[in-house]
Amino acid sequence: MSHPSVVTIDHRSAPRTLFSGDQLVDVDLPTGTRVIYPKPPIAPLKDVNAAIRYAINHPHNSEPLYAKLRPGMKVTIAIDDISLPLPPMKRPDVRELVLTIVLDLLSDHGVDDVEMIIATSVHRRMTGPEVRHVVGDKIFNAYWPKKLYNHDGEDAANMTYVGTTELGEEVELNKRAVDSDLVIYVNLNFVPMDGGHKSVAVGLCGYRSLKAHHNPRVMRACHSYMDPGSSALATSVERMGRVANAKLNVFTIETTINNRMFDRPLEFLAKNEDELTSAEKTSLRALRFTLSKLPQPARQAIFQRVPSPYGVTGVFAGETEATHVHTLKRAYEQYLVPVVGQADILITGIPFISPYNVNSFLNPLLVQVMANGYLFNLYKGVPMVKKGGTMIILHPCTDQFDNEHHAPYIEFVHRLLPETRDAMELHKRFEGKFASNPAYIEMYRSGHAYHPAHPFFMWYWGEAGRQHLGRMIVVGADNEYIPKLMGWETARTMDEALRMAKTTAPPKPEILALHCPPTLMTEMSVSSPRLSGPPDSLRG
Amino acid sequence: MAASYFDVDGTLVTTNLVHPTLFYLQNQPTPLHTAAKLGRALLKAPWMALAELRDRRLFNELLFSSFEGMSEDRLLLLAEETFTKVMKPKLYAGARDLVQTSLDKGHEVILVSGALDFLMVLLKEHLGATGIIANRLEIHDRYATGKLLRPVVAGPEKARLIREHARASGHDLDECFAYSDSYSDVPMLSVVGHPAAVNPDRKLTQLAEAYHWPIIHLAA
């Protein structure tokens, strides 16, 4: 029997409502399609502050935080950036709650030399209002910008070489953190690829360290970014994190949240369409109509500017690896939906947001990373779609970029992709030059642009999906140029896309559809449900 | 090796060509000389305003004609003080970082400016840049004639000089960078493979957005 979050479409089923960027689209899916919904949100902790205090006083494989403190010591607190969660969390963000308790504790123990670093790695710098949203008014007013600031991976004077792993991966980290007597990392775990050694070893590093694992060779060896045990990326980061932790005194605080992405008026977006009440059906129709009439910036504002009412489901602290085991367990508890049998065709909408376009537009390269990277990888076990199978996505693929945040992306998409889509060639011929482009570096350092190596990382991020999938078909693209650049086919409707996909699929193909957001993950096992049923030839 | 070509006024410093010129005029050997120089400059002001709108080269020639009659010794003597008092405090905070990043990446860094060479040499040394393309006063019998030596560094001529410099130095222009704040420098920005707008004026902002050139905002 399948999990309640797996709904099989029959002839009475209502159309499914999927995201296509910041629009909602109704699609009629063929009978027999299995639609995977997110699990209902786990009940949040009743007293988050008590849970934080308990976690730091009863840490995993570490002495309590208070026992690590002594007057006059130098402490650096590193904080996850705005790429998590999506959309940003309603205030107070759980990081504010953790920081408030930790800062009070430091003050009580006579620790005055405290600096807080937003662990942006090569992401864009967060703006003042964004930092304020995460840390709260009190902390922001007291510390920003001198004692609370963004990491700068290109500030050579403030980066320190820490060591090299047995496989030659160089670990270079933020000097302030390396020179500190204690580093406290405050994490918010949104998906299972977050946290653990990634926090310090990636969040506080620069290009020199990132290129050890953000490259086509490592990405091709990843068999789900969301399953650290099967991810060459996670394994590399773990090796580098161990080198870092051997030198730094790291105390990790990780938090998990549930998947309550939509607040009450939009909660129905996570529900099975067959179970919507009349009022919810009316609201859905009204929302769809409104979105279809609004200009794009207004649609973006509706979804991105409204913070999500995520509930905190766990707080764990202590030594990095021991802590992360508990975090992963809680994250999987929320996200994992067991699914038996891979699909020949996987259908998914691409929503309006990714970790890299908070407060900006989801540009074509990010559509690619959402499809081939994130959504393809939302599995543990085996991929949702069989090797050589087809993925159908819904997105307009508009040729639009944020000139500031994604400046280097534009050149990557419009100058490099027309030359080659081969990740290895892009890596060898162009990445070095891009990564050392002084204009883009200055935009990263003093503006709010992603590092010039980031678009390459985004392309490599899609590498595992590209290597596995046979075809990618886009439904609803508003142009032919961008899908062609990405190596994708286009279809005007879902019916047309399915007809195209079936030409290279076996007869009566298995079809899976993802109904996200909110976030979900599949726990895939390979055995086909057909094995337990009658053979195809005996079916009606 | 690539080269990075930087416009100076408005790009690396907040000052323009007028500020150092005024400092020179205010620091003549006697108050009478100062009053005479400033008076003459004031008379030329409407013509300069008109020239600024129509032709950058003409503006430069009118402005620098104010140096007529100044001794070469005095020009050089005042250069250090002009640089220290007028230009150095007005350097954008991020300018040094931008130049340093270019040097760190192995670029030759050339300052391309309509300003006078003896001032640009000091800025070059201060920033650690590798070369200058700047205007030069004509000197006759150790006194400035008030004329500029050819070629006059302004507008489209900057683009030609950059091309010439790149060819002479063996740089591939497609690999070179250029930075400017002004729409009048579009020719200079257009000849390199990597143009960037720094604190751009309105027209250059529009153009940079249309062509997706990087736009850098350096804090004052």
Q: According to CATH, what is the number of the domain A50-257?
A: 3.40.50.11440
Tell me: pLDDT of A306 over 90. Answer: no
Does residue A403 belong to the interface with chain B, where contact is any CB pair within 8 Å? yes
Domain parsing of chain A, residue ranges: 6-41+274-306+335-528, 50-257
- Residue A487 phi/psi, 5-degree rounding, is 85, 25
Residue A321 has pLDDT above 60, yes or no: yes
Tell me how many degrees the CA angle A428-A429-A430 measures, rounded to the nearest 5. 105
Angle between helical axes of B18-26 and B56-64 (0-180°, round to 10): 10
Does residue B6 sit at the A interface (CB-CB below 8 Å)?
no
B216 touches chain A (CB under 8 A): yes
Strands A250-257 and A312-318: antiparallel
The yes-or-no verdict on residue A14 having pLDDT over 70 is: yes
pLDDT of A330 reads 95
- The pLDDT value given to residue A540: 33
Q: What is the pLDDT of residues A257-296, one digit of tens each?
A: 999 998 877 888 889 999 999 999 999 999 899 998 989 8
Q: How far is Cα A377 from Cα A473, in angstroms, rounded to an integer?
A: 17
Quote the pLDDT of residue A156: 93
Q: Is 50 exceeded by the pLDDT of residue A346?
A: yes
Contact A363, A508 (CB under 8 A): no
Calculate mean pLDDT across residues A420-448: 95
Closest residue to B101, CB basis, from A408, A438, A447: A438
Entry pTM: 0.89
pLDDT band at A487 (very low <50, low <70, confident <90, very high): very high
Give the lowest-confidence range in A108-112, A234-238, A297-301, B123-127. A297-301
How far is the alpha carbon of B78 from chain A, nearest alpha carbon, in Å?
34
Q: What's the pLDDT band for A1 if we cut at 50, 70, 90? A: low
Tokens encoding B145: 């004639």
CB burial of B74-85 (b: ≥16 within 10 Å; e: otherwise) equals bbeebbeebbee
Q: Taking a contact as any Cβ pair under 8 Å apart, which residues of chain B between 146 and 205 contact chain A?
A: 175, 177, 179, 194, 196
Rounded CA-CA distance A329/A86 in Å is 20
Domains A6-41+274-306+335-528 and A50-257 share a fold: no
Q: How confident is the model at residue A533 (pLDDT cuts 50, 70, 90)?
A: very low
Q: What is the pLDDT of residue A446?
A: 92
- CA dihedral (B148, B149, B155, B157) in degrees, to 10, reads 170
The pLDDT of residue B18: 81
The CATH superfamily of A6-41+274-306+335-528 is: LarA, C-terminal domain (3.90.226.30)
**pLDDT, tens digit, for every residue of A364-405?**
999 999 999 999 999 999 999 999 999 999 999 999 999 999
A447 CB near a chain B CB, below 8 Å?
yes
pLDDT of B105 reads 93
- Put simply, the answer to whether B216 touches A446 (Cβ < 8 Å) is yes
User: Can you tell me the distance from the alpha carbon of B68 to that of B62, in angstroms, rounded to the nearest whole number?
Assistant: 11
pLDDT of A481 > 50? The answer is yes
The ipTM assigned to this model is: 0.82
What structural domains and CATH numbers belong to chain B? 3-216 (3.40.50.1000)
Q: What is the pLDDT along chain B (220 residues), one digit of tens a residue?
A: 799 999 999 999 998 888 888 777 777 778 877 777 777 877 777 777 776 777 777 778 887 888 888 889 988 989 999 999 999 999 998 899 999 999 999 999 999 999 999 999 999 999 999 999 999 999 999 999 989 998 999 888 999 999 999 999 999 999 999 999 999 899 999 999 999 999 999 999 999 999 999 999 987 7
CB A151 within 8 A of CB A64: no
Mean pLDDT of A28-48: 95
The percentage of residues in chain A with a pLDDT greater than 70, rounded to a whole number, is 97
How confident is residue A84, by pLDDT bands cut at 50, 70 and 90? confident
